[in-house]
Amino acid sequence: MNWDDRPHEDAAALAPERLVGASADGEEQAVEAALRPKDLGEFIGQEKVREQLDLVLRAARARGATADHVLLSGAPGLGKTTLSMIIAAEMGAPIRITSGPAIQHAGDLAAILSSLQEGEVLFLDEIHRMSRPAEEMLYMAMEDFRVDVVVGKGPGATAIPLELPPFTLVGATTRAGLLPPPLRDRFGFTAHMEFYAPEELERVVHRSALLLDVEIDADGAAEIAGRSRGTPRIANRLLRRVRDYAQVKADGVITRDVASAALKVYEVDSRGLDRLDRGVLEALLRLFGGGPVGLSTLAVAVGEERETVEEVAEPFLVREGLLARTPRGRVATPAAWAHLGLTPPNAAAPGAARSGQGGQGDLFGA
Ligand SMILES: Nc1ncnc2c1ncn2[C@@H]1O[C@H](COP(=O)(O)OP(=O)(O)OP(=O)(O)O)[C@@H](O)[C@H]1O
C-alpha cells in the first residue's frame, strides 16, 4: 500500500447524530469529561492493557524518567483519550491534546513540540491522519528529541536543529495497520484496546450513574450495557437518554423495563442495532432473500449512500455475526434471520421471506 493513499474519510461524518455512533462531537466531549476515570484503578476493563501500562509507568517513575512513547489503537469511544489523561496523571505530568488532522504542516508540529515542558504528555489523536512532512518530523522528535526547522525556501533554505525537552507521545489511532512502519516502530509500548464485555459495560454504567446521581438497578444497567455495542461512550450516552425517560415517564429509577421502554423510543433494539442497521438487514432479508447481493444494490434498496452502508452500518453487523461480506456480495447469516424474527426462504414456503413467530415486536424487548 502507498501510505499516501491512506483513507482520510471519517465514518462519523457520514451519519452524524446517531445515538449508537461511536464518535463524539465537541459538546458531548464536554459532558464526557465529568465521567472520565482519573487513574488506572478507576479505569474499567482492558485488563492486559492496564497491567502492562501500569508496569511501564511505574518503572519510568522509579527511574525518574519520562515514560516511553505509547501507541493506543482501537475503535472510537473505547477510552483512548481517557487513558492518555490517566498516563499524564500517573506521571504527574501536564498533557497537551491535539490531533492528526489539526497538524497539516510540519511547522504546526514544530510549534507544538517546541513549547512542550519537560516530561509533558503529548496526546495525538487520529495520528494516522497527520500530513506526511509532519510525520517525518515526528520520527526524529520521538527518537532524538530534536527537530530540524527549515527556514527559507528553495536553494537558500536552511535546517536549524532545535533541541526538545524529553516528552511522552501518546498516539491514538483507530487503524494501527495504516501507520507507516517507521512511525509504529518508534513507540516503546503499543496497546490494542478491545471492545468491552457486557459485564464491564455494566460496571461503566453503574459508575456513571453514580456520578450523574441517577438511581439504577442491576437489571437496568445490564439492559443498557447489552445495547451499547461494546463501547463505553455509547453506554454513557444511552444512560443519559434513559435517565431522561426515567425522569419524565417513570419515577426516576432505571429498571430493566424503564431502560427497554426508553430505548424503544430511541429505536435502539435489544442487540444495539439502530434504524439504519435494521434497514440494511431488512432489505437484505426481505428483498434479496438474504443475499448474496452487491453493496451498491443494497445501498439503493435502503436509500442510503454506498459509503454509509459500508462504513457506518456494516462493521457492526459483521462484528455481530449478522452479515458477511463475501466475494459474491453481502450475505445474511442465520443469526440475522433469527434477530428480525424472519424465516429464511429455504426453510419456508417457496418464494419470499415471511415473518416467523415473534416478529418485529420482540426486537426491542429485554
Ligand atoms: N475503561 C473505561 N472505564 C470507564 N469509562 C470509560 C472507559 N473507557 C471510556 N470511558 C468513558 O467513555 C467515554 C469515551 O472515552 P474516550 O473519549 O476516552 O474514548 P476514545 O477512545 O478516546 O474515543 P475517540 O477515539 O472518539 O477519541 C468517556 O466519557 C469515558 O469516561
Distance CA 331, CA 321 (A): 11
* 308-320 residue pLDDT tens: 999 889 999 999 9
Distance CA 289, CA 295 (A): 15
What confidence score (pLDDT) does residue 278 get? 93
Place of cell 450513574: 209
Catalogue the active-site residues: 80-81, 125, 174, 233
What is the average per-residue pLDDT within 210-225?
96
Contact 248, 266 (CB under 8 A): no
Give the predicted TM-score (pTM) of the model: 0.86
What is the average per-residue pLDDT within 184-188?
93
Is there an atom of ligand 1 within 6 Å of 21 CB?
A: no
Distance CA 83, CA 354 (A): 48
What confidence score (pLDDT) does residue 12 get? 61
Who wins on pLDDT, 293 or 27?
293
Which residue out of 78, 195, 200 has the highest number of ligand 1 atoms within 8 Å of its CB and is therefore the one to mutate?
78
| Separation of CA 61 and ligand 1 centre (Å) | 25
* 47 C-beta neighbours (distance < 10 Å), count: 10
| pLDDT tier at 227, thresholds 50, 70, 90 | very high
| Separation of CA 219 and ligand 1 centre (Å) | 23
Nearest protein CA to atom 29 of ligand 1, as residue: 32
Q: Residues 6 or more apart from 30 whose CB is under 8 A from it?
A: none
* 311-350 residue pLDDT tens: 889 999 999 999 999 999 999 999 999 999 998 887 654 4
Contact 341, 352 (CB under 8 A): no
The three three-digit cell numbers of residue 322, written as one number = 449478522
| pLDDT tier at 31, thresholds 50, 70, 90 | confident
Distant-in-sequence contacts of 322-329, Cβ < 8 A, 24+ apart: 322/281, 323/280, 323/281, 323/284, 326/292, 328/292, 329/291, 329/292, 329/293, 329/294, 329/295, 329/298
What confidence score (pLDDT) does residue 178 get? 83
**Residues pairing with 121 in the sheet:** 95, 168
Distance CA 318, CA 296 (A): 17
* 61-116 residue pLDDT tens: 999 999 999 999 998 999 999 999 999 999 999 999 999 999 988 889 999 999 99
The mean of the pLDDT values for the chain is 88
What confidence score (pLDDT) does residue 13 get? 66
The three three-digit cell numbers of residue 1, written as one number = 500500500
Is there an atom of ligand 1 within 6 Å of 76 CB?
A: yes
| Separation of CA 197 and ligand 1 centre (Å) | 15
Q: Is 189 annotated to bind ligand?
A: no
ipTM, 2 decimals? 0.97
**Nearest partner of 282 among 294, 292, 290, 270, judged by Cα:** 290
| pLDDT tier at 45, thresholds 50, 70, 90 | very high
